[in-house]
Structure 1
């Protein structure tokens, strides 16, 4: 009995280390993912730690405490005995159980390689990234309580597609509908940033996306001062990350360091309802005519 327990412990440790090795091996941002893009000040390891803490804190507030599953909970003694005579079946069953339990354990936040330096991507499951990030920034803006040191910006990624012009146009036509398609409408601006990518043209991307927004409802208007929505375009290698966020200007371009600073000269503003200092001077917010 003790040998079986010991074997189970070794197996559990091996599974944990295996997951860590796979993570180090470069599990990267891919098309089809949702999550949160986080920029930092040179210290990615500390950024990941801060992000896990912050996301868990606010994730629990919005969605309730996350119930983690023990990887070996599903392996009952009777089931293991039944499969002892069939090694191949037992192995297949255990692999399936590990996959299922791993997915459950990572149901909310999983740190993966973004494909760019000083940028971390957290894949999310069963979470609305734009709602969670807006809630975090709204709280920091209101309380002025600094909770991170190395995290700079925290941007929700509601959708991803291939970073090629035709793929982006096709994807955006559907992606923008909840905000901009009749009867929905709003004022907007577009912000663009590309990393490790040289085949997407900023001006063409802006023009294409603005054209799509206008085609969905002609009443959608550009506002570079105080727009209702900001379309955030973040391209890393061959993946384009998209989101539509509120209070982008009020929350200092979603910069966690800037949003907690007190500014007496600032006119009081009311953040939008929850639903949805890395400034890129070369890529300012623009509209279709820029």
Structure 2
């Protein structure tokens, strides 16, 4: 019996895995784990589209910096083509077939590989033979300069240059070595700590920030905390049992490495406003809204008052016009009564005998006497005597004009 057959007989049950164990190992190979490097990407409720956009964006800029990607399976295929296919035996053919199958399953290292991060709306892109901090910084600087929006779903893109277990002791032990190139003597810089925990309750934000600040201060007393314009930013992203660590530059300038906000940034505003400025702007907006609302209410009140006043004036003017009309009517009526009364007085006065005027009885007697005289004197003549003319004038005078007799 050959040695391989003897070895196969010695294998126990632990060597052979159940389907559940195979699935668990396969799932573990596609998840974020300790010892990996890559890029942590946050999105907005669409992880599949986020992964597709990340591959396109990273591939575009990686080809500019590092050149086109060379696949390992292509290299192996090129070496096999140089040999004579007829000289290959069955064993070599099987080895090549296994290599292609492994490449199809993702066992062979590629430049970018998407893995499960362990949190919702978070995608981890594992990188191979790349400087992730340099690549991400180049992408953000280009987007900031061109103001060209190239993604719709991706929000933040954070480089991950180191990973460790997400326990406080393990994190501090790892950072003691990881932070030396930037903060250990003779190197020093101003810094801030950005901490975020997802699906993890072992680490408290304030405690971790204080511990990291104390560690950096021990490395070099010249290291200073600066929350407005820091030279470097220490990023700690905890997801379940893995802590992703990186040190980045211009974190504030590039809007906390947010691709959507970097494109919106105006040319002269490289630095984001501070918290006090944000609070002041919010207070100003609130104050402006309150003033506008008060002005609208005052304007509405003035309009209503003006309408009421106008309605009162119309009523008063209508009443005044009615009163004036009534006064005019009363005046006209009073004038008519006066005229009537005056006419009666005139008639009365006209009926009174005046001095030097003959009364009616006297006129009648004179008329009778004159009639006889005129008839006898005139005969057939048409002329009237002067006495008759005087009587006719006295009868016609209704306004009480004084008539003098002969």
Q: TM-score, normalised by structure 1?
A: 0.76
Residues 1:170 and 2:170 aligned together: no
1:54 is matched with 57
For residues 172 and 270 of structure 2, the distance between their equivalents in structure 1, rounded to whole angstroms, comes to 37
Cα distance in structure 1, aligned partners of 2:55 and 2:197: 25
Higher relative contact order (CA 8 A, sep 6+): 1
Q: How does 1:84-163 map to 2 (within 5 A)?
A: 84=90, 91=94, 94-95=97-98, 99=102, 106-163=109-166
Q: Which runs of 5+ in 1 are unaligned?
A: 1-20, 270-290
Q: Distance in 2 between matches of 1:249 and 1:222?
A: 14
User: SS where residue 112 of structure 1 aligns?
Assistant: strand
Q: Deviations over 1:56-109 (max 9, x none)?
A: 01111111111224466155575796542x5xx865665357557987964311
> 2: distance between equivalents of 1:91 and 1:68?
20
Q: Distance in 1 between matches of 2:150 and 2:166?
A: 33
> 1:233: which partner in 2?
236
User: 1 or 2, which has the higher helix percentage?
Assistant: 2
Larger radius of gyration: 2
Question: Residue in 2 aligned with 1:201?
Answer: 204
> 1:224 and 2:231 equivalent?
no
Q: Residue 69 of structure 2: SS of its match in structure 1?
A: coil
Asked if 1 retains the 8 angstrom alpha-carbon contact of 2:73 and 2:103, the reply is no
In the alignment, the residues of structure 1 paired with residue 238 and residue 217 of structure 2 have an alpha-carbon distance, to the nearest angstrom, of: 22
Scaled by the length of structure 2, the TM-score of the pair is: 0.55
Distance 2:93 2:116 in 1: 33
Q: Secondary structure at the match of 1:235?
A: strand
Cα distance, 1:267–1:92 mapped onto 2, change above 3 Å = closer
Q: C-alpha distance in 2, partners of 1:56/1:24?
A: 26
Partners of 1:97 and 1:54 lie apart in 2 by 27
SS in 1 for 2:156: strand
| Deviation larger for 173-182 or 200-209 | 200-209
Tell me whether 1:212 sits opposite 2:212 in the alignment: no
Q: Give distance in 2, aligned partners of 1:160 and 1:121.
A: 12
Q: Which residue does 1:248 correspond to in 2? A: 251
- Relative distance call for 1:105 and 1:68 in structure 2 (3 A) is farther
Equivalent pair of 2:192/2:225 in contact (CA under 8 Å): yes
User: Comparing both structures, which one devotes a greater share of its residues to strand?
Assistant: 1
Q: 1:224-278 CA deviation, whole Å, 9 max, x = no partner?
A: 00000011110000000001101111000100000000436x5457xxxxxxxxx
* Alpha-carbon contact 2:73-2:100 (below 8 Å) kept: no
Q: Identify unmatched segments of 5+ residues in structure 2.
A: 1-22, 272-406
Instruction: Please give the secondary structure, in 2, of the residue aligned with 1:257.
Output: helix
CA contact (8 A) 1:228 1:247 kept: yes
- CA root-mean-square deviation: 2.8
